[in-house]
Structure 1
Amino acid sequence: MKITHIIMETGERLPMLLLDDGVPDFWATLFVGKRLRNQAQNSIERGLNAVRHLRGWEEYHERDLSQEFRDGNFLSEIDVLSITEHCAYEAEDFQKWAAKKKQESNRPRTASVAGLLALKIEKPLKTVQFDTQYNRISTIAKYLKFLAETASRVRPDKRESKNEIERMYKDLLSKRPKPNSSRNSRGRYAHIPATAYRRFKELASPDHVDNPFRKGKSAERGEARTAGEVRKRNHLLVEIAYELGLRGGEILGLWVEDIQFGPKPTLSVVRRHNHPLDPRKKQAVAKTQERTLRLSRELASALNHYILNERAKHPFANRHPILFVVAQAPWNGRPLSVKSFGEVFESIAQVDPDNLGDISPHGLRHDRACRFVDDLRLFNQTAKKKDRIPEEEFGQLLKDYFGWKDLKSAAVYLKRRTKERLDEGFRQFQRGAFDQGDQGDEE
């Protein structure tokens, strides 16, 4: 099974789950049309990935849940536990394991000492993060409730079936992993120091000796090519993420017209969901609110050079307005994809995996938010009293800059940054007290 994306005449992108013979999966397609159609493309794709993962469970256990629901047989407590446990496994790793088990089951079994000695202890299956498991279970619970309600609609015992379906739905939701409150309070990126982000940005510089995009294998399709244009483009991708804190979808969704040059250059984030001028099946879009941000002269100059000297030399780039394009034949001039964008950041991180391996595009956005708070507080320390910004206005400034819908995200960063500063101050105090104690002992 695989997920494909079709583009409607209106520009709407619609993900579809296809069976091995290329035919759309009936129940998954119906579920999308009835329950997910109004959601964003990425949200629908995540939902279909959860359904596809459930299909792996059905195939391994030789079950057909749609038929079972038509017969009035709903999930037992053991089934619920089995499915929720299945949601913790990495899909690819489970598929390999299931295929191996199927092959082993087809082999003739012979009992012998040599056979027993040849047995190996299996490695545990790789697991996903708790939030991924949580979201999978949530989606699968909604899907199975929809499937059960639709498949059992013609049954005479509707009232009893309705109660069983509701029981099954609540059982699935109750088995979702509990959020780790200590992890959430520290933040996903709390362990990455600011120096790591700065080094990441420096490695993306076109002239850096350790820049991974050199002649030879590039991050795009793995074909040999000169990497001068790729270096400049990838440097801009990282600079925009570091300097402005834009999300990956916002960067990939930029149009040439979104960059305004002049004495005060700016970059605009514009929401263009399902726009017909974007030829990508899997469209990259802005999730946040529209806004206009000031550009540094250095970044504006680099963008101007890229548009006039790099992007313009690809004829296909004139057929669409997307800013960042592929540099390598045969796809040169096409809009850069989400996959290629992720590979750029992965390639830089692998230069120093021990220190940079956990850095992601969203991590750079997190770092920018922290630096934004620090910049505001530093400004207040050096500004005249009448020019200082009241701290209660920090949240609104963060919200407007990063495009958040409300002040909740801003409050998280303000609280977290205050705690980090207090922790650092306490560590410095401890070091000072320890040093004074050592001096006293020497005296």
Structure 2
Amino acid sequence: MIRLVTRHIVSETGERLKLLVDGPSGVPLFYPNLYNTSQIRGASKSVATIQSYITSMKVLYSWAAEYSVDIEKRWKRGEWLKTWEVDSLRDYCSLPLRSPSELQEKVVNIRQGRPVISASVNSPTKYVRMTFIADYLRWFADMLTKTSSKNLKIEIEAMYKSIKSHRPKMKGRSVISREDKGLDSDLLQEVMKVLKLGHDNNPYQGYSLQVRNAAIIALLHYLGIRRGELLNLRIDDINFVTNEVRIVRRADSSKDHRVYQPLVKTEERILPISSRLAEILSEYVIRYRSAFPFARKHPYLFVTHKKGPYQGDPLSNSGFGKVMYSRQIFTYSRARL
């Protein structure tokens, strides 16, 4: 079975590159990477868009290997996808890119406490996959044929439209307010109470970790900033005189060596913080962050506390996920529902 992997590269200038390679050999796939470089990166698309494209290519070439479809040879002969192949590709785009063992992992709904096992991706994901695949296959056909034949161009366009017509119907954006989707205010206040420094039920072990995580959750809660904006914060973004936080865009920063660089997607802005939150941030920087030697080599505010080779590194996306997912908080929240 074909095994494609994403190779992540961070250049000396801080630019992030993503390549689709053959897992066993490590050889990059020529045409998918050429399309990525010329059509997606060349159009200044975001890192998230590039990752969505690469995932779509993994789906396409896994499907092609499973159904013995040699796309390059077929395209050179002017043989396009048949109707049943488009149907098969549509169904394949519904499958998650995970092994059967990974499909047994259970995701628990915090409101209802019920385990849910997803056997297929959601409609927006399937829509994006098929859109990328249709665009790529049309480009690939034009690249290989290099013909001015009107009939061939019509056939290629017909295949392109056929694939896109098989995408799921997308409904408009939800009219439900965000407030209706979150935790109710009483439960949120209970959780915030538990996370106070020194609280008996605080799930984070160690006072320094409690200080860091209290600051993280307070910034998210009171400022409404995104994860990428939080992890992108530097010490010099905090004005401890005026009690303000700057949200700054820093795509492809040479000072950020994280492979998955947290990004600011919204406009740059300055946000006020309370004097108490400013005190917590100041305490964290002066007393705890400074205790990690490697933390002194970069400007990012929140760092990894866990002992090991990454201690003092800027907090990563996965590290942030571990902060937000605490079994103790989850158990406490369920008990209060």
TM bracket, shorter-chain basis: 0.7 to 0.9
Offset, 1:169: 1.6
Whichever structure has more helix as a proportion of its residues is 1
Inter-partner Cα distance in structure 2 for 1:288 and 1:77: 42
| Counterpart residue number, 2:237 | 258
RMSD, matched Cα: 2.5
- Aligned counterpart in structure 1 of residue 330 of structure 2, from 350, 356, 360: 350
Q: Matches of residues 233-252 of structure 1 in structure 2 within 5 Å?
A: 233-252=212-231
Amino acid at match of 1:291: R
| Counterpart residue number, 2:207 | 228
Amino acid at match of 2:14: G
| Counterpart residue number, 2:76 | 70
Q: Matches of residues 14-413 of structure 1 in structure 2 within 5 Å?
A: 14-20=17-23, 21-37=25-41, 38-93=44-99, 126-153=119-146, 158-181=149-172, 184-186=174-176, 190-192=180-182, 193-214=184-205, 227-262=206-241, 264-328=242-306, 329-347=308-326, 350-352=330-332
Inter-partner Cα distance in structure 2 for 1:212 and 1:304: 22
Inter-partner Cα distance in structure 2 for 1:36 and 1:356: 47
Offset, 1:159: 2.5
Preserved contact between residue 212 and residue 351 of structure 1 (Cα < 8 Å): no
Inter-partner Cα distance in structure 2 for 1:354 and 1:69: 55
- Structure 1 residues 96 and 342: CA distance shift in structure 2, 3 A: closer
Inter-partner Cα distance in structure 2 for 1:298 and 1:352: 26
Q: Deviations over 1:296-344 (max 9, x none)?
A: 1111111111111111111111211111111122211111111111222
Amino acid at match of 2:145: S
Inter-partner Cα distance in structure 2 for 1:24 and 1:291: 40
Inter-partner Cα distance in structure 1 for 2:333 and 2:137: 41
Inter-partner Cα distance in structure 2 for 1:177 and 1:185: 20
Offset, 1:160: 2.3
Preserved contact between residue 17 and residue 25 of structure 1 (Cα < 8 Å): yes
Question: Would you say how many aligned residue pairs link Structure 1 and Structure 2?
Answer: 315
Offset, 1:200: 4.0
Q: Which runs of 5+ in 1 are unaligned?
A: 98-123, 215-226, 358-443
Q: Which runs of 5+ in 2 are unaligned?
A: 104-116
Inter-partner Cα distance in structure 1 for 2:264 and 2:37: 23
Offset, 1:51: 1.1
Inter-partner Cα distance in structure 2 for 1:31 and 1:94: 31
Inter-partner Cα distance in structure 1 for 2:6 and 2:296: 30
Secondary structure of the 2:331 match is coil
Amino acid at match of 2:192: K
- Larger-Rg structure: 1
Preserved contact between residue 191 and residue 333 of structure 2 (Cα < 8 Å): no
Inter-partner Cα distance in structure 2 for 1:327 and 1:92: 31
Inter-partner Cα distance in structure 2 for 1:131 and 1:33: 24
| Counterpart residue number, 2:114 | none
- Structure 1 residues 204 and 125: CA distance shift in structure 2, 3 A: closer
Amino acid at match of 2:150: R
Preserved contact between residue 187 and residue 333 of structure 2 (Cα < 8 Å): no
Moved over 6 A (4+): 94-97
TM-score (norm 1): 0.66
Secondary structure of the 1:231 match is helix
Offset, 1:187: 5.1
Offset, 1:19: 1.0
Offset, 1:189: 6.4
Q: Does 1:9 align with 2:12?
A: yes
